[in-house]
Amino acid sequence: MNFEIPADTRDIADGLISFIDRFVVPLENAHSDLLATERTRTDERGILVPAVRDLQRTVRKASADAGFYTLFGDPSLGGGGLGEGALAHIQERLNHTYGPPRTLIHEVVIPSVFTNGATPLLLELQPHLRDRHIAAIVSGESTLCFGLSEAGAGSDPQRMRTTAVKDGDEWVINGSKQWITNAAYADFCILFAITDPEAARARRGGITAFFVDTRSEGFECTGIIPLLGQAGSNVGIVSIDELRVPDDHIIGTPNRGLTLALLGISKGRLSMSGMCVGLAQWALDLSLDYAQQRETFDVPIAQHQMIQAKLAEMAIDIYAAKSAVARTAWMVESGQPTRKETSIVKALTTEMLGRVTDSAIQIHGAMGLTNELRIEEAWRLARIVRIPDGTAEIQRRAIALQLLRGDAAL
């Protein structure tokens, strides 16, 4: 068991950081007034203004040209095929370097590994759809959203109420989706609906995935959902009203859509876990610098034991989380069952980030509460990420069930 990061993965991460510093950061600087705050970036509805969306498209396409946008996609889709270990390391490095989400960097240079970009779900499309759409998707010209969650069906997607009824060679879909990332901007949606109500009620499948053009009549993003005081958001609500989708737009096997939706759990949770580890290290770096500069009672606060204890606790938290992520990524790449372990790292890293960012604010005192240092932004994000991709409580339930089934090795 060797957790050393391979040299080629380190080189890719270095290249990614170099690309961002050379191409994206100058764009940020050139459009600093536009990107300054959420109020300048978004309109009265909380949706990114066209100028910002154009900049994001420019970054996506440049990232694709440089080979970063599809790093984790299947090679048959033009992706780099990198595995879970590289995913965790690169997300850690990205977030350690750049901190909390920046409009032209996070989820733009590298999209979600399962719900956008070169997602493996595209392999399940009919050949004529792949031929027609893959090039635009992997080039960053077009983007996706993942229409699974609903107002009453988040952690328990089988409770969804969106239905699809066969009508000739088409399906008529009605319902709504909520908490959908990129809903307001996506060109296509991977949309899930009940196609066999009896099987769905019995929790034996009955849910089908469809590939939907978001410009279709009957598909509309009706609003966005600001989180924790945000003025804008990347999360939206989708209304589906008499949406007609051709039968050949089914993704994979009919009534087996939920199986497809769950295929991305390992990568999704490891990506988020790597992000949390990197962002926690960013917060620790700021705290170390500040503690050695800020003075009270004629000495740097780093000399006070209470501050030293906080710094040490932050390091303990980060080290434990980083180690757990590395081991879990290794297990996934080795082909071992990791249902328990991916739940462990998702709960561990998101809660760790909350503790670390809270300590960072405390070490910085009043400065930690200001927008200027962005620590409060990291702290708010830490609270948010304990909910998506399975809440902390759902993770504990999954862990306990695996333990009780005999999967008790740690």
Residue 251 belongs to some domain of the structure: yes
Q: Is the pLDDT of residue 263 over 90?
A: no
201 shares its domain with 335: no
pTM: 0.95
Could you read off the pLDDT of 387-407 as tens digits, one per residue? Answer: 998 999 999 999 999 999 999
331 shares its domain with 249: no
pLDDT for 191 equals 98
Q: Is the pLDDT of residue 1 over 80?
A: no
Could you read off the pLDDT of 316-330 as tens digits, one per residue? Answer: 999 999 999 999 999
Q: Which helix (H) or strand (E) holds 270?
A: helix 265-293
Residue 307 belongs to some domain of the structure: yes
Q: Is the pLDDT of residue 3 over 90?
A: no
Stretch 5-12: mean pLDDT: 96
Residue 42 belongs to some domain of the structure: yes
198 shares its domain with 279: no
Q: How far apart are CA 380 and CA 139, in angstroms?
A: 32
Q: How confident is the model at residue 155 (pLDDT cuts 50, 70, 90)?
A: confident
Mean pLDDT (the chain, rounded):
96
* Structure-block tokens of residue 192: 């899930």
Q: What's 353's DSSP letter?
A: H
How far from 169 is each of 41, 189, 217, 239, 246, CA to CA, in Å? 43, 20, 17, 23, 6
> At what angle are helices 7-19 and 50-66 packed, to 10 degrees?
150
Residue 409 belongs to some domain of the structure: no
Stretch 199-209: mean pLDDT: 96
40 shares its domain with 80: yes
Q: Where is the domain boundary, 138, 161, 180? A: 138
The DSSP result for 52-97, as a single string, is: HHHHHHHHHHHHHHHT-TTTTS-GGGT-----HHHHHHHHHHHHHH
Could you read off the pLDDT of 101-133 as tens digits, one per residue? Answer: 999 999 999 999 999 999 999 999 999 999 999
User: Structural domain tally of the chain?
Assistant: 3
State what percent of residues in the chain have pLDDT above 90.
Answer: 95
Residue 187 belongs to some domain of the structure: yes
Q: Is the distance from CB of 279 to CB of 351 less than 8 angstroms?
A: no
Torsion-angle region of residue 268: left (phi > 0), alpha (psi -120 to 50) or beta? Answer: alpha
14 shares its domain with 107: yes
Q: Which amino acid is at 265?
A: I
Task: Give me the CATH number covering residue 336.
Answer: 1.20.140.10
Q: How far apart are CA 371 and CA 374, in angstroms?
A: 5
Stretch 365-369: mean pLDDT: 97
156 shares its domain with 49: no
Could you read off the pLDDT of 370-380 as tens digits, one per residue? Answer: 999 999 999 99
Give the 3-state secondary structure of residue 173. strand
162 shares its domain with 211: yes
352 shares its domain with 381: yes
Residue 2 belongs to some domain of the structure: no
Stretch 338-362: mean pLDDT: 98
Q: How confident is the model at residue 306 (pLDDT cuts 50, 70, 90)?
A: very high
pLDDT for 378 equals 98
Domain that holds residue 235: 144-256
372: exposed, middle or buried (Cβ count in 10 Å: 0-12, 13-18, 19+):
exposed
Residue 1 belongs to some domain of the structure: no
Q: How far apart are CA 193 and CA 176, in angstroms?
A: 10
18 shares its domain with 119: yes
pLDDT for 266 equals 86
**Residue that has been written with the tokens 């400065």 in this structure:** 367
pLDDT for 262 equals 86
Residue 410 belongs to some domain of the structure: no
Q: Where is the domain boundary, 138, 161, 192? A: 138
Task: Give me the CATH number covering residue 159.
Answer: 2.40.110.10
Q: Where is the domain boundary, 107, 138, 169? A: 138
Q: How far apart are CA 144 and CA 70, in angstroms?
A: 14
76 shares its domain with 109: yes
109 shares its domain with 188: no
Q: How confident is the model at residue 197 (pLDDT cuts 50, 70, 90)?
A: very high
Q: Which amino acid is at 293?
A: Q
Per-residue b/e over 3-24, b at no fewer than 16 CB within 10 Å? eebeeebeebbeebbebbeebb
Stretch 221-240: mean pLDDT: 94
* Structure-block tokens of residue 3: 């957790």
188 shares its domain with 321: no
Pairing of strands 299-300, 295-296: antiparallel
Task: Give me the CATH number covering residue 107.
Answer: 1.10.540
| Range of weakest confidence among 262-266, 297-301, 381-385 | 262-266
Report which of 103, 133, 130 is spatially closest to residue 214, judged by C-alpha positions: 133
